[in-house]
Amino acid sequence: MKIGELSKTSGCSVQTIRYYEKEGLLSDPNRSEGNFRLYSNKALKELEFVKHCRSLDIPLNDIKRLIELKNKPEESCSSVNALIDQQLELVNQRMKELKALKAELQQMASTCESGGTIEACGIIKSLDS
């Protein structure tokens, strides 16, 4: 299949596919006589793997590492576990930060009564301080 068809099938933009290729996340595609990229079902599976990793917010460097590990099935999976543990720690940290952000926004919202003027708005005042 050509890149446009891969794009439609996978839901990834052509630019994203080219970027992932450039970054070494996808195998180099075969080329037609007219020099068009030709992708196999293997390429689609690789792309789906990358997309799934990205949906888990795994950084591209870590996805590269996972791909390297995936291609060495005889090795211990401890590296994979460590990578996912690190990702879990980042998610937990982000959740703490989001909870703090939510609390701050709720506090700001409670300082302003609707129907008042901007001059008396507690939210605006809290942003100025």
pLDDT score, position 125: 83
Does 115 have pLDDT greater than 80? no
Mean pLDDT across the stretch 38-57? 95
pLDDT score, position 117: 84
| Helix ranges (DSSP H) in the chain | 3-10, 14-22, 41-55, 60-70, 78-110, 122-128
Q: What is the mean pLDDT of the chain?
A: 92
In angstroms, what CA-CA distances link 43 with 21, 27, 72, 89, 100? 10, 7, 18, 31, 42
Lowest mean pLDDT among 56-65, 66-75, 110-119: 110-119
The 10s digit of each residue's pLDDT in 67-107 is 999 989 999 999 999 999 999 999 999 999 999 999 999 99
